[in-house]
Structure 1
Amino acid sequence: MHPKSTVIFATLAAIVLYLVVDISLFHANMPFSVALGENLGARAVVVGLLVFLGGIAFFLLSKDQEEVITPQKEASLHEAIVGIIFSPAPLHVRLEKSLQMVAKALKLEQLVIMQYQSESLKRLYQLNETHPIAQTLMLLDQAPHSPLEKEVLNFHEKKEVSHTLLLHPSGHAVHFALLKAEHLLKPSGILSAVFQKGTTPSLKESEALKFLAQNIAFALSVAQKKEAILRASEQQVDQQLDEDPRFNIFTNFKLRQIILYEMKRNQRHKTDLSLLLFGIDHFANLQGMLSQKKALEIQKELVALIKASLRNTDVFGVWDENIFAIVLPDIPFQSANALSQKLALLISKKRFEGVGKITCSFGITTFMSPEDTIESFRRRAESALEKAHKEGGDKTEIKLLVSTNHDTR
């Protein structure tokens, strides 16, 4: 029950209780109608006093609610928000503390942060009495379950900067603010605050919520950038390893170093150098049918089979997600083509656990001119493999610098 309603109810109850006690104790022998008319002056004084006390309590509550945020309190609240958002604590801890502090200062019943993800809204954090901090599913991927969710979707579709509305049928005032920092071109989500029933947010309260939304947007953007930098750093470290830990063969980074070395040797001594790329046909479909772990196991089986069939001088490694490479020093494209046929036959006889038979496609090129570069060398081999895959798989394509293309199978 709202505090103002409680005061009114308590005042009326006190008056009724006083009259009942007075009549039952001092006028019990009289008829009720007669007893009610006795001592009207004294009773009027007591009832007036009770009404006066109730009025004072009502006034104090009204004054307290009207002055939730003074300029001094607003400045203090802003300072506290900044201190929390820029603290070294984890992001979820900072968000939780800032939401709790603002919800307490503004006497909110609910405070929700929702974050855009592509065209959807994800409820990032929710703060209320029953669910202090909760993560939920995409709102736009399911029907909204509450009036607040419906109003959030309406606000999202209208693309308004901020507004206040009545949340029917409950009658709660709700304030929306976009999560948009000054350095961001687009908002990253929505902050919605549900006020106590019967209260309307003041200008200072709206400004405080807007300030909170701006700082949350900034904190989220910084966290996302840190995560992206961390992922890029980890990926760069992985790429610069000599050996892929999944397959125990060379990484793409190491293969490129070896190709550059062999290119220089080719230019000095006119040696041959071929590159053979291969990948499992329709691997994306295979990943869709199997678990990621099972698909990786099939790749490992294939790598072990190929590795046991190569010469000591052949350089075997990972080229891309589903592409493997064999760098063939001192081997012309004709011999590389013969190797691809040998490997294709070997793969056709193998039964892989869980899927049975698989096929692979091969793309081959040879370093033939001083004008050739590692990039043109790479592009030709990748283009040859792509063509073999597109033509149904289980094929070998050869592409040379002079644009001689032929299918050898």
Structure 2
Amino acid sequence: MQIKLNKTFYFFLAFFIAFLYWVLDAFAISRLHQSSWIEELFFQTPHSVPLLKCLIAVVLFLTTLVPLFIKPKASKTSLLEFGALEKLSTLLFASLATKFNILKTQESFEKLLHLEASIVLLYTQDHISLYNENLFIKTSFHSKDIFPFRANTYEKSDVEAMVVRCFTEKTPLTQEKIFFNDTPMSIFHFLLQEEETKKTIGALMLVSKDASFIQRHTSLIKKYLPMLTFALLLSLKKEQLEKQLTDYAEESKSRDEHLNLLNYESINEHLFYEFKRHKRYKTELTLMLLEINMFENLSKVFPEEAIVTLKKEFVHVIHKSIRDVDILGKWSHNRFAIVLPNNTFKAGVGLANKLQKIIETAKFLPIGKISCSYGITSLSPKDTLGSFKARAENALTKANLHGGNAIEVSLQNNELDNNTL
């Protein structure tokens, strides 16, 4: 609409200028030759030169229209910004977003803005993790995982303090000055938010010696943030799906190869066999579920090799404490199950107390001391296999809610239901 109005305006202006010239020229000639203005206007005098007058009018008309044929030059800055974003997006989405793509893009982004370093942070409800790694991060951070609401045994660096402060305040843009190797630098902190939900998933920190240069390119940075956020979400979702597929593949096997332990499917087969036996011969059956307390936090603090070693030693301790007829297996990623044939819940409680004392005194290198939660139930005549397993899981969940290192018994009759031992 705006373009059409501009064209109409220019054509009207060109016509008006040509017409004005025509009228004024006729008036000037009539005064010069003492002739009639109307006759001069329509070339009815001997000294009229119609061809020259028409040519001048056409030139004036076309000259007025010249701006319509001149395209405005694109801003040099916008062209550079577009080229930079195009290059970054090509790196980010060269294939389905992966961590490798994101790290390569960050390296290119650092060169583009002449940064000393960039830091990509991922947020959870109570935890911050460093996504990338460089010399600045190694020097300024004690760990790749930061727990803002926990008391730390070490003194936070200026950068760590800023990260924690920005995490709690959730300020969209923050700028602070620090000294790195006795050199003054500026750190810019940008939040990474989903466009639709505005949910904060992390932050991007830029370290630069030239704060004014970063400020001049804030527009470019703000256009890059949604791209980086989307790529991170894709990468995290991909990693999550790969982990689920790996866990499913592990659980689909009859044994866990790392722990030399029965997997969930095999435990289920044993439970189904004992369940059928109970229905036919009225035998007793007890199921105990165990979970290492604070396992997720241990997994974040210690390397994977240490966690595998912990699980192996834990399984070894349990194996030494149960009967030959008892069946030990892996229930889920961080839960274990003990099937106790021909035993009531009281025997399960006795075994849990025994394990509790052993584990409290044991030392699991390199992690140290740990504790467990225990959920116990016994099979009832009215049970289905599903209700039997669900009750054991509910008992374990309640034991965890008591702060860990607790034994919870849940039965179908209400004799000891919801009772913590």
TM-score by length of 1: 0.55
CA contact (8 A) 2:372 2:406 kept: yes
Letter in 2 for 1:84: L
Q: How does 1:294-373 map to 2 (within 5 A)?
A: 296-304=312-320, 306-308=322-324, 310=325, 317-319=329-331, 321=334, 323-326=336-339, 328=341, 331=342, 336=344, 363=376, 365-369=378-382, 372-373=383-384
Q: Which residue of 2 aligns with 1:48?
A: none
Shift of 1:151: 6.6
CA contact (8 A) 2:293 2:405 kept: no
Q: How does 1:136-215 map to 2 (within 5 A)?
A: 136-137=141-142, 138=146, 142-145=155-158, 159-162=170-173, 167=177, 176-183=189-196, 185-187=198-200, 188-192=202-206, 194=208, 196=210, 199=213, 201-202=215-216, 205-215=217-227
Change (3 A) 1:336 1:211: same
Letter in 1 for 2:316: K
1:216 to 189, 204, 228: 228
Letter in 1 for 2:252: Q
1:81 aligns with 2:88: yes
Change (3 A) 1:69 1:171: farther
Q: Which residue of 2 aligns with 1:272?
A: 282
Q: Give the 3-state SS of the residue equivalent to 1:211 in structure 2.
A: helix
Letter in 2 for 1:70: T
Letter in 2 for 1:252: Y
Q: How does 1:126-145 map to 2 (within 5 A)?
A: 136-137=141-142, 138=146, 142-145=155-158
CA contact (8 A) 1:180 1:218 kept: no
CA contact (8 A) 2:345 2:376 kept: no
Q: Give the 3-state SS of the residue equivalent to 1:326 in structure 2.
A: strand
In 1, the alpha carbon distance for the partners of 2:130 and 2:396 equals 44
Shift of 1:84: 0.5
In 2, the alpha carbon distance for the partners of 1:396 and 1:96 equals 46
1:253 aligns with 2:261: no
CA contact (8 A) 1:363 1:383 kept: no
In 1, the alpha carbon distance for the partners of 2:176 and 2:399 equals 63
1:113 aligns with 2:119: yes
Q: Give the 3-state SS of the residue equivalent to 1:216 in structure 2.
A: helix
Change (3 A) 1:394 1:245: same
1:99 to 106, 110, 132: 106
In 1, the alpha carbon distance for the partners of 2:204 and 2:87 equals 21
Deviations along 1:108-127, whole A, 9 cap, x unmatched?
Answer: 34342241434565554477
Q: Which residue of 1 aligns with 2:16?
A: none
Deviations along 1:71-111, whole A, 9 cap, x unmatched?
Answer: 222211111011001123985543444334344444x3434
Change (3 A) 1:326 1:297: same
Shift of 1:241: 2.5
Deviations along 1:156-175, whole A, 9 cap, x unmatched?
Answer: 56544347x68489887765
Residue identity over aligned pairs, in percent, reads: 16
CA contact (8 A) 1:121 1:189 kept: no
Shift of 1:234: 1.9
Q: Which runs of 5+ in 2 are unaligned?
A: 1-73, 299-305, 364-370
Deviations along 1:296-342, whole A, 9 cap, x unmatched?
Answer: 4253243255353x2xxx765444656532263xx5xxx64797699
In 2, the alpha carbon distance for the partners of 1:150 and 1:341 equals 47
Deviations along 1:12-44, whole A, 9 cap, x unmatched?
Answer: xxxxxxxxxxxxxxxxxxxxxxxxxxxxxxxxx
In 2, the alpha carbon distance for the partners of 1:251 and 1:156 equals 40
CA contact (8 A) 2:97 2:231 kept: no
Q: Which residue of 2 aligns with 1:374?
A: 385
CA contact (8 A) 2:329 2:336 kept: no
Shift of 1:250: 3.3
Q: Give the 3-state SS of the residue equivalent to 2:322 in structure 1.
A: helix
CA contact (8 A) 1:252 1:318 kept: yes
TM-score by length of 2: 0.54
Shift of 1:228: 1.5
CA contact (8 A) 1:275 1:381 kept: no
Q: Which residue of 2 aligns with 1:230?
A: 242
Change (3 A) 1:271 1:98: same
Letter in 2 for 1:373: T
Let me know the Cα RMSD of the aligned residues: 5.5
CA contact (8 A) 1:167 1:173 kept: yes
